[in-house]
Amino acid sequence: MKNACLAVVGVLLVGYLLAGTDGFPDIKPAKGWDTLSPAIAEKGDWPWWRGPNSDHVVSQATHPPTVWGADSGIQWKVTLPGIGHSSPILCGNKIYVTSGDLNQGAIWLLCVDPDSGEVIWKSEVYQGAVAKLHKDNSLASSTPAFDGERIFVPYQTDKAVGVAALNQKGKLLWRTVLAPYTTVQGYSASPVFYKSLVILPVEAKEGSRMVAVHRSTGKVVWRNTMRKVKESYATPLVAHVAGRDQLLLAGGESTRGYNPATGAKLWECEGPSTYCGATPVADKESVYVSGGYPKRALMAIRADGSGDVTATHVTWKSDKKAGYVPSPVLYEGLIYAVNDQGLMRCYDAADGQVQWEEPLKKPFYSSPVIAGGLIYLFDRKGLGIVMKTGRKKKIVASNTLPAGVFASPVFKGERMYLRTLGDFYCIGR
**Cα–Cα distance, 382 to 114 (Å, whole number):** 22
The pLDDT tens digits for 240-287 are 999 999 999 998 889 999 999 999 999 999 999 888 999 999 999 999
At 326-371, the pLDDT tens digits run 999 999 999 999 999 999 999 999 999 999 999 999 999 999 999 9
pLDDT per residue as tens digits for the range 306-329: 999 999 999 999 888 999 999 999
Q: Is the pLDDT of residue 378 over 90?
A: yes
pTM here is: 0.93
Please compute the mean of the pLDDT values over residues 204-220 and round it to a whole number. 92
Q: Which residues pair with 345 in a beta bridge?
A: 337, 357
- Dihedral over Cα of 254, 255, 259, 262: its sign: positive
pLDDT at 108 over 50: yes
Question: Of 378 and 18, which is predicted with more confidence?
Answer: 378
Q: What distance lies between CA 404 and its chain's CA centroid? A: 20
Q: Number of helices and strands (H, E) in the chain? A: 1, 34
Neighbours of 392 (CB within 10 A): 9
pLDDT value at residue 21: 57
CATH tag for 240-324 (out of 3.20.20.60, 2.40.10.480, 3.40.50.150, 3.40.50.1820): 2.40.10.480
What amino acid is encoded at 230 in this protein? K
pLDDT, position 230 = 72
Please state, for a pLDDT cut of 70, what percent of the chain lies above it: 94
Q: What is the three-class DSSP state of 256?
A: strand
Q: What is the pLDDT of residue 320?
A: 85
Sequence spans of domains, the chain:
240-324
* CA distances, 297 to each of 138, 230, 271, 273 (Å): 26, 18, 8, 7
81 has a pLDDT exceeding 90: yes
Q: Is the pLDDT of residue 11 over 80?
A: no
| Residues β-bridged to residue 208 | none
What is the model's pLDDT at position 61?
A: 62
What is the average per-residue pLDDT within 31-60? Answer: 94
Reply yes or no on whether the pLDDT at 13 is more than 90. no
> What's the mean pLDDT in 111-126?
97
Q: Report cis status (omega within 30 of 0) of the bond before 294.
A: yes
Which candidate, 53, 152, 66, 87, places its Cα nearest to that of 365?
Answer: 87
Nearby residues of 186 by Cβ (< 8 Å), 6 or more positions away: 131, 132, 133, 134, 137, 138, 139, 141, 156
Confidence class for position 79, pLDDT limits 50, 70, 90: very high
Cα gap 290→279, rounded to integer Å: 8
- Confidence (pLDDT) at 376: 98
413-418 contacts at long range (C-beta below 8 A, 24 or more positions apart):
413/44, 413/60, 413/61, 413/62, 413/63, 414/61, 414/62, 414/63, 414/64, 414/65, 415/64, 415/65, 415/75, 415/114, 416/64, 416/65, 416/371, 416/376, 417/88, 417/90, 417/95, 417/114, 418/378
Q: What is the average pLDDT score of the chain? A: 92
- What pLDDT score was predicted for residue 204? 84
Residue 6 has pLDDT above 60, yes or no: no
